[in-house]
Amino acid sequence: MDNDIFQGYKGAALEVLKKYQVRVWGTTRVDTTRGGFEGTVLPRSENDDDQHIVIKIVTGYNIGLDVNTILGMIETGYKKANYKIPEKQFPYTKGLPKVKLFGTGGTIASRLDYRTGAVIPAFSPGELYGAVPELADICNLETEKIFAVFSENMGPMQYKALAIAIGKEIEKGVDGIVIGHGTDTLHHTGAALSFMCQNLPVPVVLVGSQRSSDRPSSDAALNLMHAMKAAGESDIAEVMICMFGPTSDEYGLLHKGTRVRKMHSSYRSTFRTIGDTPLAMISRKEITPIKKSYNKRRPDKKVTILPYFSDKVTMLYYYPAMSPDVLDAMVDKGYKGIIFVGTGLGHVNKELYPAIERAHAKGVHMFMTLQTIWGFVHMFVYDTGRDMMAKGIVPAGNMLPEVAWVKLSWILGQTEDPEKVKEMMLTPINDEITQREPYNGYLVYQGGVPEVEEFIKRVHK
Amino acid sequence: MQFDSRRNYENSKQLVGYVPRREATPETYRRVGFMAGLEVHQQLLTKEKLFCHCPAGVYHHHEEYDAELIRHMRPTLSELGVYDGTALMEFRTRKEINYRINNENACTYDVDDTPPFPINREALGIALEISLLSKLNVVGEVHITRKQYLDGSIPAGFQRTAILGVEGELELPHKKIRLIQLSIEEDSCREISDIGHVRVYKTDRLGMPLIETVTYPDCDTPDEIKQACDYIRFLNRSTGLVRTGIGAGRQDVNVSCKGGTRVEIKGVAHTKWIPELTHNEVFRQWALLQIKEKLNNQITDVEGWKADFIFVNGAMLDKIPLVGQAEKVMLVNLPGFEGVLSYFTQPGQSFANEIADRLKVIACLEKPNMQSSEQLYPDVNEIVWDEFRRQMNAGAKDVQLLVWGPEADMKTAFETIEERCQMAFLGVPPETRKSLADGTTLFERVLPGADRMYPDTDSPPIPLPDEYITSLSKKLPREVIDSYKQLKKWDVSEEVYTYLFSKNLFPVIQRMANELEADPKFIALFFGQKVKFAEGHFRGPDPFDYNRIFELFAFLKAREIHHNLAAYMLQEMIEHPKMDFDSILQSIGFKKISKEEIESKLPMLKAKFMDGKQEISKTNMRNWVIGQVRKRALGNVDLSGLSKLI
């Protein structure tokens, strides 16, 4: 009961509220050594100190009062706020495609959480329509909240549940599927679903937002509109990630789930296709293909759902002078697959060799990927590379490290036969390893260079 | 009979009782219940911006940008779960906001692509000093709040701001003004243009530390509100820690009349404009209240009142600019509105302007965007109006509007017209208005309320312990009102106070009086007249450092040179700030001559005067003789003493 009335307050601050019998959401007059204050007592974030009481003053601002300065308090009323996005029935429009939206949490729809003082996921179809009414012009929407977790808490359980849900939805005859997702591990999920949902007849679009939807400049609304359009209208039947192209509110990009990576901690245009070009550009008006070949939409409902995932795969990000006991520890802990993230063309130091041999002897499946992010692993160039291959590390082409981790986990969920594992790893399912790298697959332009500056000035960022 | 719009305008102006400000007395304002308060913005003098490490105060020209980006803003809920009216209005405008970024003064934080860095402590300290000077109750913990701005002036769609103190007091010479609060906030972008659906901003000023002091509406006359504003600015400047110059201080003035509504006149750059603006605004409100009366008398079904529209052929309207290029011309009928559109609201403006302004802002129709059948100076003749009235089946007491522009904007345009007319039944709509140079104002947006606040989930609260506040209290400068009283005691004329306070010169005057034993009245006037004049007439490479005046008088005293030479050294001091005083003396041709030597010349000059052609009088002789020795005497003797010897 106390917890409800004094939400989030503890220690000294809680004592003061109790002493003067003032509740959270109570309007109060406070007398302090710094003068008088009036306002509504707000809940306090659990991680903040116990020395202050937060009130919202009449002008709408919040302030904190130091409990040591408080001489007296009285409650003059009670006014609980109701933070709720207006819910409206999502309208049905004949002729528009039927799109299913799965909610997993994340910033695509969120609200304030007083417990932590941060934003938490919130999701309902009506809320979405209330916040982004334009969606009704794009599709007929059905929504289902599968779980509400932050992006970083998405894992094997969720991948499998999503894959199964996608399979069921396709059987029911949906025109496209959108998955709302936090952005941090969007590309991990993108890869997992690419492997788990094969031979898709409709688009499966993963979407998030880099700025939570509780801010006016959020990218959530436009990302959602783009994703719904991609799911409902496009003929690209693949697992895709749909996020901002530039940081401007102009167009989004559709990236292949197996070739995409989050490249900036906070930019809106954080997702980039690596070592290749995105599938298409998308705006509210049109979808403009970039890649010529892709899996086309089909009228049938034949999809292959392979919901497997082993939790015995880990990654080893190499650094100079890494000690072999790091690798030994992983093997001792029972990991069966290890994705190395090596330097340059795919290298680790010689001190690691004995540990690699021990791991190989124990049947651990080891693959090499790159810290350089771009480019192919090439272990024939130097002796060290040849040595490592001899000791059992398999080069994984230009597979992105995160994708390699996902794929090996997915494979080891199905088989542990070394030859089979190797064959499956190196046989691309959807471009996780490509045959060639186009010249425009690697673009990290250098700011300050005149021609780059000229380009930046001319084109919206 | 044809309705005479111009006569209606003049009659209504009389009914409102509008007088030009020079004819207004305190009684004029008592009659209409003038009430005004202030929101005074002041940039703080810090090296960096408030929430990032970009340099503050580095500006660039419109075209000097490195990159551009685009945002659209959507309204979001406040912490209390409510949408703000302003936000919804801005959303209806469907504006595309274009930001110009210069790499020297803006970073990814400014365009909301990076979360905030911890608050600038230098800025916080200055703002707290000013809070203490303003006798505010300082908070125990600072909570950063997001204040929504959907006009695009901030790329995030909100301004980070925080309250530092509430319930303060400002003492004016004859009155005390109560303060509601003081906040620290980030400054907004500067607008480059706003045409149609595209608004362009530059981001150089964005994010600079700013404080806002908000008063209660305690001022009763336009002059009083100006004085209050000046005093808040003086107080801010007395710390010596705030920026000066164009745009460094800006104010919003809140005005209402008896029975009216709070209307905010935004972004008044100079306090001298405040009296005229507030004068006109109070009468605008008074006029709107009369329109309300008139409409409620004229129209029986107020609740069910609705406007109506049809699209018409613009071919007959070729005399009106822009109609020819418009996609659509809409004719709107306003039932029972006779005499309202041409009703006086502001000098040279009538109620029709209220609608035209909103059409520009909300429906994005560039002006001229409208013509009414009660146009004061019509471009459309009555035959055409009659034809339109026939097409619309309009009644005799109805008024018609023609509106033109892109087809996509016509729906919003009609809604805007109908909405503004419906508001006329209720009186004065709460608005933010833009000030114009002629003292009138125009609609900028719906007045925002407290429903646009949201806690900043990116920033932790900042505690302000007692020890910190105490240490700041010890550094506070003398209060402006005390300096005012001291200047009075020194018998310094009030004419120079504004200059002395706005340049924060009281401390240097007092130091000169104490340390150089200079006459404070002489020094105060020296600053207020001689230095001010010199600044206005001579240009130097740097802003003038007023401490140089202290050094100047110290130098003169040490050399036993009379201070009447000081004024003649100012030009050199301003134009060549690095030149030493000896060189300046040489440059202006000063020679040390003994008092005796100068006095010895007097008899010879007197004789010469008597030989001359001037009319002989004692005054003439004194003036002529002093004129002859002036150049040599300055700095060597007191001229009035010398004059007495003649």
Extract the tokens encoding A162.
Answer: 């999503």
User: Chain A: nearest CA to B193, how far in angstroms?
Assistant: 18
Q: Is B74 near chain A, with CB under 8 Å?
A: yes
Mutate to test the interface with A, among B64, B90, B147, B166 (most CBs of A within 10 A): B166
User: Chain A: nearest CA to B70, how far in angstroms?
Assistant: 5
Class of domain A98-305: alpha beta
Distance CA A446, CA B371 (A): 54
Mutate to test the interface with A, among B90, B113, B159, B169 (most CBs of A within 10 A): B113
pLDDT score of A232: 97
User: Chain A: nearest CA to B254, how far in angstroms?
Assistant: 15
DSSP bridge partners of B159: B147
Residues 6+ apart with CB under 8 A from B274: B222, B225, B226, B229, B251, B253, B268
Residues of chain A in contact with residue B137, where contact means CB-CB under 8 angstroms, are 32, 34-37
- Of residues B131, B160, B430, the one with CA closest to residue A61: B160
User: Chain A: nearest CA to B116, how far in angstroms?
Assistant: 11
Residues of chain B in contact with residue A65, where contact means CB-CB under 8 angstroms, are 139-141
Residues of chain A in contact with residue B73, where contact means CB-CB under 8 angstroms, are 216-217
Class of domain A3-78: mainly beta
Of A215, A222, A250, the CB nearest to B158: A215
- Of residues B454, B432, B453, B457, the one with CA closest to residue B443: B432
Q: Which of A105-119, A240-254, B337-351, B573-587 has the lowest mean pLDDT?
A: A105-119
- In chain B, whose CA is at the least distance from the CA of A130? B76
DSSP B502: H
Q: Is B450 near chain A, with CB under 8 Å?
A: yes
Question: Considering only residues 161 to 220 of chain B, which have any Cβ-Cβ distance to chain A shorter than 8 Å?
Answer: 161-163, 166-167, 180-181, 183, 214
- In chain A, whose CA is at the least distance from the CA of B452? A60
pLDDT score of A2: 44
What is the three-state SS of B371-399? EECCCCCCCCCHHHHHHHHHHHCCCCCCE
Contact state of A250 with B466 under an 8 Å Cβ cutoff: no
Of B139, B156, B163, the CB nearest to A215: B156
- The H or E element spanning position B580 is none
- In chain B, whose CA is at the least distance from the CA of A66? B140
Contact state of A248 with B70 under an 8 Å Cβ cutoff: yes
Residues of chain B in contact with residue A36, where contact means CB-CB under 8 angstroms, are 137, 167
Q: For chain A, what is the mean pLDDT?
A: 91
Question: Considering only residues 410 to 449 of chain B, which have any Cβ-Cβ distance to chain A shorter than 8 Å?
Answer: 449
Say yes or no to pLDDT of A12 above 80: yes
Burial of A298 (0-12, 13-18, 19+ CB in 10 A): middle
Q: Which residue has the higher pLDDT, A461 or A18?
A: A18
Extract the tokens encoding B175.
Answer: 């009155």
A359-374 residue pLDDT tens: 999 999 999 999 999 9
Residue B402 Rama label (left phi>0; alpha psi -120 to 50; beta): beta
Q: What is the mean pLDDT of each run of 10 residues along chain B (646 residues)?
A: 89 96 96 97 97 96 94 80 72 88 95 96 98 97 93 94 97 94 97 94 97 97 96 95 92 96 92 96 98 95 94 84 87 96 97 97 93 92 91 94 94 95 96 94 87 86 96 93 94 94 94 94 95 93 90 94 93 93 92 88 83 77 84 87 80
A28-50 residue pLDDT tens: 999 999 999 999 999 998 889 99
Of B112, B141, B450, the CB nearest to A217: B112
Of A61, A65, A248, the CB nearest to B140: A65
Contact state of B66 with A457 under an 8 Å Cβ cutoff: yes
User: Chain B: nearest CA to A63, how far in angstroms?
Assistant: 5
Count how many pairs of residues, chain A against chain B, have C-beta atoms within 8 Å: 184
Spatial contact of A426 and A408, defined as CB atoms under 8 Å apart: no
Which residue type does B291 have?
A: I
Architecture per CATH, domain A313-426, reads as: 3-Layer(aba) Sandwich (3.40)
pLDDT score of B37: 97
Report ipTM for this prediction. 0.90
pLDDT score of B406: 94
Residues of chain A in contact with residue B464, where contact means CB-CB under 8 angstroms, are 66
pLDDT score of B381: 86
DSSP of B320-362 = STTTTT-SEEEEEEETT-TTTTTSEEETTEEHHHHHHHHHHHT
Say yes or no to pLDDT of A1 above 50: no
DSSP A85: P
Residues of chain B in contact with residue A216, where contact means CB-CB under 8 angstroms, are 73-76, 87, 148-150, 156-158
Q: Where in chain A is the domain with CATH 3.40.50.40?
A: 313-426
User: Chain A: nearest CA to B427, how far in angstroms?
Assistant: 24
Residues of chain A in contact with residue B143, where contact means CB-CB under 8 angstroms, are 54, 61-64
Q: Is B495 near chain A, with CB under 8 Å?
A: no
Contact state of A213 with B76 under an 8 Å Cβ cutoff: yes
Residues of chain B in contact with residue A247, where contact means CB-CB under 8 angstroms, are 69, 111, 113
- In chain B, whose CA is at the least distance from the CA of A248? B70
pLDDT score of A84: 65
User: Chain B: nearest CA to A52, how far in angstroms?
Assistant: 7
Contact state of B78 with A60 under an 8 Å Cβ cutoff: yes
User: At A334, is the secondary structure helix, strand, or coil?
Assistant: coil
Q: Is B87 near chain A, with CB under 8 Å?
A: yes
Residue identified by tokens 């000059």 is B605
Q: Where in chain A is the domain with CATH 2.30.30.520?
A: 3-78
Neighbour tally for B314: CB within 10 Å: 18
- Of residues A137, A148, A168, A46, the one with CA closest to residue A107: A148
User: Chain A: nearest CA to B453, how far in angstroms?
Assistant: 6
pLDDT score of A111: 56
Of B67, B74, B181, the CB nearest to A461: B67
Averaged pLDDT for residues A379-405: 89
